[in-house]
Amino acid sequence: MNLLSVRNLRVTFPTDHGPAEVVRGLNLDLGRERLGIVGESGSGKSMTGRAIMGLVPAPGRVTADQLTFDGQDLRDLSEDARRNLRGPAMSMVLQDPKFSLNPVIRIGDQIEEAMAVHGGLGKGARRRRMLDALISVRITDPERVARLYPHEVSGGMGQRVMIAMMVVMEPALMIADEPTSALDVSVRGQVLDILADLVSRRGMGLILISHDLNMVARWCDRILVMYRGEIVEELAAGGLYDAQHPYTRGLVASLPTIDDTRDRLPVLDRSAL
C-alpha cells in the first residue's frame, strides 16, 4: 500500500486579480522510497510539501480529491489531529539552518522539543534519544553540540541538526525542502548520505524537493518535474536524459558540464511550452 496518495491537489491564494493557483491538480503516490521533485523557483514545489504537512500560510486554501496518508484521509482530520501527526508521523526539513533554528534556544532543547510536544517520554529518555539523533546525523560529540546555541555551529552542522530535529520522532514520511541548497558541495554529499542512510535504515518515505537536477537524478528512485504548479513529467532514476517533455529537455540542455564546448548556454525557450 502507498504511504501517501494525493489526487488533484490544488493550492490557491486570493489576489487582487482573483484566485491564483500555485499548485494545479497534482497527483502523487509515494511508497517507502526516495522521490525527487524538481522545478524552477515558484513552480509550487515547496507549496506541495507544505500542503501535505497542512501548513500552507494564512490566506492560502488547499483542496484535493484524495489526500490519504497511511490509510487516513487527511482532509477529514481536525487541526488538532493533524498537529499530532506532525512530528511522529511526518516532518519537513527546511531550507536554511540559519533561519530554521531558534537563535535563543540551545540545540539540544530544540531537538527535544518534538518529544516534549507529543509527551510520553521522561526527561532522561528524551535526552538519550536527542543524543542518539545527533549521533545518527554523524555529530561526533553530541554532548557538547547539544549545549551550543545555533549561532555557534557551522552551516553544515546546523543543517544536520535540523535533520536530527526532524528524524528524532522517526516519522514515516519526511519532506526535505532543498536541504542542501545552503551548503557547499563537500558538505552536501554528507547530508545526502545521512538522509539516504535514514531512509533505508528506518524505512521512511522521503520527498526531496530541489532545483538541482543532477543531484536529484543521481540520488532519487523517481523524479517528478514540476512547472507552473503541475507535474509535467515523471522520470525513473537516471532517466533524466531521456526526458520527453520540452520543459525538462530545456532544463537539462541549459545545465553546464565540465567539458562543455558551447560558447553560450541555451536559455529555456518558454514560448515553445
Partner 1 sequence: MITHEWLLSDDPETRTQARLGVMYRLARDLARNPLAMVGLAIILALLLIAAFAPWLAPYSPVDGALANRLQPPSITHWMGTDELGRDILSRVIYGARITLMIVLLVVVISAPLGLLIGTVAGYYGGWVDRVLMGLTDIFLSLPRLVLALAFVAALGPGIENAVIAIAIAAWPVYARIARAEVLTFRNAEFLDAIRMQGASKARIIAFHVMPLCMASTIVRVTLDMAGIILTAAGLGFLGLGAQPPLPEWGAMISRGRSFILDQWWVATMPGFAIVIVSLGFCLFGDGLRDVLDPKQRSRG
Output 28 or 114, the one with its CB closest to partner 1: 114
Tell me the site size for partner 1, rule CB under 8 A: 29
Angle (CA) 225 50 61, round 5° = 105
Question: Residue 226 CB, nearest distance to partner 1 (Å)?
Answer: 21
68 binds partner 1 (CB under 8 A): no
181 binds partner 1 (CB under 8 A): no
Which position has the grid cell 558551447? Answer: 262
Which position has the grid cell 539523533? Answer: 133
Interface with partner 1 in residues 139-158 (CB under 8 A): none
The C-alpha cell at 196 is 539516504
Output 70 or 113, the one with its CB closest to partner 1: 113
185-202 and 123-136 helices, crossing angle to 10°: 120
Output 116 or 265, the one with its CB closest to partner 1: 116
Q: Which residue type, as a one-letter code, is found at position 160?
A: R
52 binds partner 1 (CB under 8 A): no
170 binds partner 1 (CB under 8 A): no
43 binds partner 1 (CB under 8 A): no
Which position has the grid cell 522539543? Answer: 113
DSSP calls for 209-264: EES-HHHHHHH-SEEEEEETTEEEEEEETT-GGG--SHHHHHHHHT---TT---SS
In this chain, which of 6, 22, 130, 162 binds partner 1, going by CB under 8 A?
A: 162
- Near partner 1 by CB under 8 A, which window of 1-9, 17-25, 52-60, 62-70? 52-60
Angle (CA) 44 64 206, round 5° = 55
86 binds partner 1 (CB under 8 A): yes
Interface with partner 1 in residues 182-241 (CB under 8 A): none
Q: Do 230 and 256 touch, CB atoms closer than 8 A? A: no
The rounded Cα 200 to chain-centroid distance in angstroms is 17
127 binds partner 1 (CB under 8 A): no
In this chain, which of 7, 25, 55, 253 binds partner 1, going by CB under 8 A?
A: 55
Which position has the grid cell 489526500? Answer: 67
123 binds partner 1 (CB under 8 A): no
Chain positions contacting partner 1, by CB under 8 A: 53, 55, 57, 83-88, 91-92, 94-96, 99-105, 113-114, 117-118, 162, 165-166, 169
